[in-house]
């Protein structure tokens, strides 16, 4: 083990300055194969390194140590070691070996799941994401891993913390699919249906050359959330969705498309019958809870339709039209919808009448003006980002080469002559 001792000496001597760390990186790359060959005997040597000072060297040793199969007994000690490393490592050093760091973090996730304690992995994985990111606009491979742990631990609010950030830089397409899919599920757990729709929509419309399981599962949830949030489903995907998605997604989600058709008819009995007949299918997809929310939401949608026809209606009439059991149940639904801002109405308790009114928002309060101003600033920032990205793409050699090959060739006769008034 003299070679390992010599490597430890080099790690301790070449971890102080940026130039030393770059030299150390070359040394570690050359020693990587021999470290993996001795992986079962490296664990005691970690105590001779300080993860807060020798982060790069510690990472190489730790990655080699965790490369082999891990038992439940050893997983507990490895989880503590990796969590300590993630917490104390220097971001600038671990970014020199991102693949190693990602590998260690993924094994950390596997080990907390092996211990059936996903909650233990949430905080360290969030720290890992922040240290690996070059900026908050950068989507790393660890984002989906963090969101998965949040889902399994039911830490939805913690997951929302990174979903609020705008992403402009993606390492791998699969990372984006999983990030949006898991993010959509977290938003569903928090009843943030609008944000969930946005994320699931990104999965469904993302570029793809072949259909993938993530997009299919995302489209199933997209259908259900659309019915819950909007009370309807657009039957066609937008033009910018890939041809593969437009041709295949509907046929792969027939049960959900038929559910949407039954929902649009507005007949509660028919919808409940269809759900009951397909209970096993929805359960096997882990979507039964969402389907039940769809059934519950149809009462709200039918009440909303009444606001488009009537100005005043009794609670008894609402109960009869919407197929509720009693006026009291109708009152509870109307009150909840008023509280959620889904309708604007007043209830006269004396005669049991409901009066539907217009949106009272006049859009001239200080809060509303501030909200509009923030929205405008965000749109301006986004516009500037798109301009920069467009300029970068227009200068990209790969894009120019592809555009040049696909560009149609025209003869001069194909163009209209310049109008006389524009002649110089």
DSSP letters of 340-404? TTS--EEEETTTTEEEE------S-SHHHHHHHHHHHHHHHHHHHHHHHHHHHHHT-HHHHHHHH
How confident is the model over 345-363, as a mean pLDDT? 86
404 has pLDDT over 80: no
**177 touches 170 (CB < 8 A):** no
Provide the mean pLDDT of the chain: 90
Candidate CATH numbers 1.10.10.10, 3.30.1330.60, 3.10.180.10, 3.30.1280.10; the one for domain 310-370: 1.10.10.10
Distance CA 218, CA 211 (A): 12
Task: Report whether pLDDT(87) > 90.
Answer: yes
Helix-, strand-, coil-residue percentages of the chain, each rounded to 5: 70, 5, 25
Number of other CB atoms surrounding residue 343 within 10 Å:
19
Give the mean pLDDT of 343-371.
87
Strand 353-356 relative to strand 169-170, pairing: unpaired
Domain ranges of the chain: 1-135, 172-303, 310-370
Q: Where are the alpha helices (DSSP H) in 115-212?
A: 119-132, 142-153, 156-163, 173-189, 193-205
pLDDT above 60 for 182: yes
> Residue 423's pLDDT is what?
45
Could you give the percent of the chain with pLDDT greater than 90? 63
How confident is the model over 229-253, as pLDDT tens digits?
998 998 889 999 999 999 999 999 9
SS3 of residue 169 by DSSP: strand
Q: Which residues contact 328 (CB under 8 A, 6 or more apart)?
A: 315
114 pLDDT exceeds 90?
yes
DSSP string spanning 296-351?
HHHHHHHHHHHHTT-SEEEHHHHHHHHT-S-HHHHHHHHHHHHHTTS--EEEETTT
Q: pLDDT-based confidence at 263, cuts 50/70/90? A: very high
For residue 310, CA distances in Å to 297, 313, 315 come to: 20, 7, 13
3-class SS of residue 114: helix
Q: How far apart are CA 113 and CA 149, in angstroms?
A: 9
Residue 413 has pLDDT above 80, yes or no: no
Q: Are strands 353-356 and 345-348 parallel, antiparallel or unpaired?
A: antiparallel
pLDDT at 417: 52
Question: At residue 204, does pLDDT exceed 60?
Answer: yes
232/377 Cα distance (integer angstroms): 31
- Taking only the tens place, the pLDDT of each residue in 32-68 is 999 999 888 898 999 999 999 999 999 999 999 998 8
Give the pLDDT score at 68.
83
Report d(CA 41, CA 205) in Å as an integer. Answer: 48
Is residue 412 pLDDT above 50, yes or no? Answer: no
- Rounded to whole angstroms, the Cα distance separating 39 from 67 reads 7
Per DSSP, what are the bridge partners of residue 266?
A: none
Return the SS3 of 110.
helix
Q: pLDDT category, 20, cuts 50, 70, 90?
A: very high
Comparing C-alpha atoms, which of 261, 248, 245, 253 is closest to residue 281?
253
- The confidence score (pLDDT) of residue 113 equals 95
Residues 6 or more apart in contact with residue 383 via CB below 8 angstroms: none
Task: Work out the average pLDDT over 130-148.
Answer: 95
| Residue 175 · residue 141 · CB < 8 Å | yes
What value does the mean pLDDT take over residues 140-168? 94
What string of DSSP letters covers 211-229? Answer: --HHHHHHHHHHHHHHHHH
């Amino acid at each position: 083990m003299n070679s390992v001792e010599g490597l430890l000496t080099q790690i301790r001597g070449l971890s102080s300055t940026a130039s030393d760390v770059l030299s150390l990186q070359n040394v570690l790359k050359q020693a990587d194969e021999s470290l993996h060959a001795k992986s079962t005997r490296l664990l005691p040597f970690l105590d001779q390194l300080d993860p807060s000072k020798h982060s790069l060297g510690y990472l190489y040793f730790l990655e080699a140590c965790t490369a082999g199969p891990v038992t439940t007994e050893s997983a507990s000690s490895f989880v503590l070691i990796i969590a300590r490393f993630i917490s104390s490592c220097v971001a600038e050093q671990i970014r020199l070996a991102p693949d190693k760091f990602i590998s260690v973090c993924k094994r950390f996730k596997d080990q907390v799941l092996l211990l059936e304690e996903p909650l233990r992995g949430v905080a360290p994985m969030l720290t890992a994401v922040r240290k690996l990111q070059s900026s908050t606009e950068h989507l790393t491979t660890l984002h989906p891993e963090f969101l998965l742990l949040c889902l399994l631990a039911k830490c939805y609010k913690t997951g929302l913390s990174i979903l609020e950030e705008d992403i402009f830089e993606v390492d791998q397409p699969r990372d984006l699919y999983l990030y949006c899919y898991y993010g959509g599920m977290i938003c569903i757990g928090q009843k943030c249906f609008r944000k969930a729709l946005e994320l699931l929509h990104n999965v469904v419309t993302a570029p793809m050359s072949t259909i993938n399981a993530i997009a299919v599962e995302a489209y199933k949830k997209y259908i259900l959330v659309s019915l819950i949030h909007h009370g309807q489903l657009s039957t066609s995907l937008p033009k910018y969705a890939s041809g593969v998605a437009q041709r295949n997604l509907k046929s792969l989600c027939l049960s959900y498309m038929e559910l949407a058709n039954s929902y649009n008819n507005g007949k509660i009995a028919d919808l409940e019958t269809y759900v009951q007949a397909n209970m096993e299918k929805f359960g096997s997809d882990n979507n039964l809870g969402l389907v039940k929310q769809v059934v519950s939401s149809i009462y709200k949608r039918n009440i909303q339709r009444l606001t488009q026809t009537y100005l005043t209606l009794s609670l008894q009439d609402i109960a009869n039209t919407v197929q509720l059991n009693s006026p009291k149940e109708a009152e509870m639904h109307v009150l909840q919808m008023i509280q959620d801002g889904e309708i604007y109405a007043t209830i006269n308790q004396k005669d049991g009448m409901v009066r539907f009114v217009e949106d009272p928002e006049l859009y001239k309060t200080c809060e509303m003006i501030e909200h509009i101003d923030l929205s405008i600033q965000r749109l301006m920032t986004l516009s500037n980002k798109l301009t920069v990205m467009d300029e970068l793409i227009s200068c990209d050699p790969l894009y120019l080469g592809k555009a040049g090959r696909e560009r149609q060739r025209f003869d001069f006769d194909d163009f209209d002559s310049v109008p006389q008034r524009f002649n110089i």
